[in-house]
Structure formats: structure tokens, C-alpha cells
Amino acid sequence: MNIIDGKAISAKAKEELRLEVAALSEKGVSVGLAVIIVGDDPASRVYVNNKKKACELLGIISEEYALPNDTTMEELLALIDELNNKKEINGILCQLPLPRHLDEKAVINAISPEKDVDAFHPVNVGKIMIGDFDFLPCTPAGVMRLIDETGVEVEGKNCVVIGRSNIVGKPMSMLLLHRNATVTICHSKTRNLAEITSKADILVAAVGRANFVTPDMVKEGAVVIDVGINRLESGKLCGDVDFENVKEKCSHITPVPGGAGPMTIAMLMANTVTAAKRQNNLL
Ligand code: NDP
């Protein structure tokens, strides 16, 4: 059994990007990301700080817009409009979830597709669907990179994704399909889940339930990627996979933390660099 080191793979991806940002800078092209955070959700604050840190490491200019909890839709849309037109900003992301009174869908739709580095805008989602995409969906792209690092061929494999959310499960399934896997998507209404998952050569869990995937659900020698981030009562982070009991059964497995998580930010940085290149006619 091999543990896939997401931290090391993410560090490698970020180093490649740092060199790319430096090369762009020599051509007089800067890379800028605007991060909007509304309210004081502690988890969102941690994510935003991590994104800022990654920008600093790579030489990407980051602008943070921390708005109060009572920000109105009009104020938020006005800020997005300003950033859509700001030349120094190549990527815009609005940290989700937003406070309840704000309309997330309208916010996602307001971000210019060219600057939508999370790839949540319907234009970008559609492009992912047809396999002709500008921006990779960050978490699924990170997972693909982890799978590729194992050296295991995806084409022709039985891949099962547990979860069908718009940000993880669905785009994950599309990326696997574009790589010629045979893909099954499972969700809360799936019957005989263990029967389906135990046929997977590659199993991706994106459920949001601690220790949900148990050894009986896993095929001997499978690649298991755990996207889940769950906080136990003890405060400890854990994934969706019962790591200790499943690991002996797989050929490769990601830990939590240190697996899929660090990859998501690296892919966000990659999208920001892509956006800057495209906006400067370098792609
Ligand atoms: P959602 O809650 O949006 O989706 C969860 C999915 O799991 C749903 O499709 C749901 O089915 C399915 N599900 C729930 N219960 C079961 C069950 N008993 N059997 C089968 N399927 C079930 O979560 P996200 O996709 O946003 O996130 C999933 C996990 O990944 C979370 O832990 C999240 O924190 C983590 N995450 C990690 C990221 C990273 O960077 N590593 C990034 C984003 C998320 P249904 O649709 O029927 O309700």
C-alpha cells in the first residue's frame, strides 16, 4: 500500500507555478487574484488565509475584500463589477458559503467567466461538460493530479465517485469520463452502495461523513482518494474513508489531512496563472 503525499505533490505543482509567475513577471505580466469573503465564518477565514499564503509564495498579487455580515446583494455585485473591470485582477473568487440573505447563484453568475478561477460559472461548468475547458474545477483537477502521480492508468478503469455536488462529485465524474474511464456516480439515494463501490478500480469519496467508506466497500488493490474534510468531536480532522482499516486493502490511498486538500489550492493558483496568460494573449 502506498500513501499518496498530497502535500509533496502540491508543493511540486506550486513550485512549477512560481517559476511560471516569475517568467511572466520578466515579460512585464503580473498575476492578480481577488478574494472576497463576507462575514466571519471561521472555516472560510482559514481557507482565505491559506489562499493568500499560497499567492504570496508564488508571487501572485492577492487582494482581499473582507465584507461585513450585513453586506447587501447590491454592494456585493457592485464590488464584483468593479473587479471584473480591474485590469490588474485576473481571477476573482468569492468564498462560499455566503451569509443566508445573499444569493450565491447570482453572485457566481456575476463573476466574469474569464476571471472565474473556481470554474463555478455556468459557462465554465458547460465547458467542463463538453471537455473544452479554460479552467479546471479545482478539487477534481487536484484529484486527477494525485491519481496521475500513482502511475495508474485511468483509461478503461471502473471509477466510482461517491457524491454528486456541483463543486466536487459532478465535475470529478466528468474529468474521469474525459479520460476514458467507466464512471459510476453514487449519492444518498443509491441502492447497494457497497456492491457498487467494491467494483471500483479507482474510488473517490466526496460525501462529508467521517469514516463512511469501510473496508467491505473497497476492492482489493484499488486506488482510494478521500476528498472529505470532517471535524471530529475531538477537534481532529478526518476524511470520508476509514483510513486505518481501508489502507491495507488498497494499492494507493490519500490521507486526510495531507491528501486532496492541499491540491485544491494549487489548482486554484494554476487557474489564476492561466487566467493571466489568457487575458494577456499569451495562450
Ligand atoms: P455536499 O454535501 O454538497 O455533497 C455530498 C454528497 O454526498 C451528496 O451528493 C450526497 O448525496 C452524498 N451523500 C450523502 N450521504 C450519502 C450516503 N449515505 N450515501 C451516498 N452518498 C451520500 O458536499 P461537497 O461535495 O461540497 O463536499 C464533500 C466533502 O468534501 C465534504 O467533506 C467537504 O468538506 C469536502 N471538500 C473538500 C475539498 C478539498 O479541498 N479537499 C473541497 C470541497 C469539499 P445527495 O446528492 O443525494 O444528497
**Higher per-residue pLDDT: 106 or 134:** 106
**Is 279 among the residues known to form the active site?**
no
C-alpha 16/C-alpha 105 separation (Å) is: 33
Are the C-beta atoms of 31 and 279 separated by less than 8 Å?
no
pLDDT tens for 71-97 read: 999 999 999 999 999 999 999 999 999
- Residues 225/200, Cβ–Cβ less than 8 Å: no
Query: Please, what's the b/e burial string for 68-100 (b: 16 or more CB within 10 A of its CB; e: otherwise)?
Result: eeebeeeebbebbeebbeeeebbbbbbbbebee
Cell numbers 496521475 correspond to what residue? 148
Cα(153) to centroid(ligand 1), Å: 25
Our mutation pick for probing the ligand 1 site, out of 50, 207, 229, counting the most ligand atoms within 8 A of Cβ, is 207
**Grid-cell match 498579487, residue found:** 61
Tell me the CA–centroid distance for residue 279 and ligand 1, in Å: 33
Buried-state track 174-205, b at ≥16 Cβ within 10 A, e below 16: bbbbbbebebbbbeeeeeebeebbbebbbbbb
Please identify which of the residues 118, 134, 201, 242 carries the catalytic annotation.
Answer: 118
pLDDT score, position 97: 96
Confidence of residue 10 (pLDDT cuts 50, 70, 90): very high
Q: Is 95 a catalytic residue?
A: yes
Average pLDDT of every residue of the chain: 97
Arithmetic mean of pLDDT, 158-181: 98
What single string gives the DSSP state of each residue in 219-266? -TT-EEEE---EE-TTS-EE-SB-HHHHGGG-SEE--SSSSHHHHHHH
Percentage of the residues of the chain whose pLDDT score is greater than 70: 100
Percent of the chain residues past pLDDT 90, beyond the cut: 98
Instruction: Judge whether 27 counts as a catalytic residue.
Output: no
Q: Which domains, and CATH codes, for the chain?
A: 29-113 (3.40.50.10860), 138-261 (3.40.50.720)
Confidence of residue 117 (pLDDT cuts 50, 70, 90): very high
**CB of 264 shorter than 6 A to ligand 1:** yes
> What is the pLDDT at residue 36?
98
pLDDT the model gives residue 149: 97
Q: Measuring CA to CA, which residue among 235, 228, 280 is closest to residue 256? A: 228
Q: Which residue has the cell 472560510?
A: 44
Task: Give tens-digit pLDDT for 176-203.
Answer: 999 999 999 999 999 999 999 999 999 9
The residue whose CB lies within 8 Å of the most ligand 1 atoms, and thus the one to mutate among 138, 170, 188, is 188
Query: What's the length of the chain?
Result: 283
pLDDT of 132: 93
Predicted local confidence at residue 199, as pLDDT: 98
Ligand 1 centroid–CA 206 distance in Å is 5
Give the residue-averaged pLDDT of 154-169. 98
Residue 142, ligand 1, Cβ within 6 A: no
Three-state SS at 93: strand
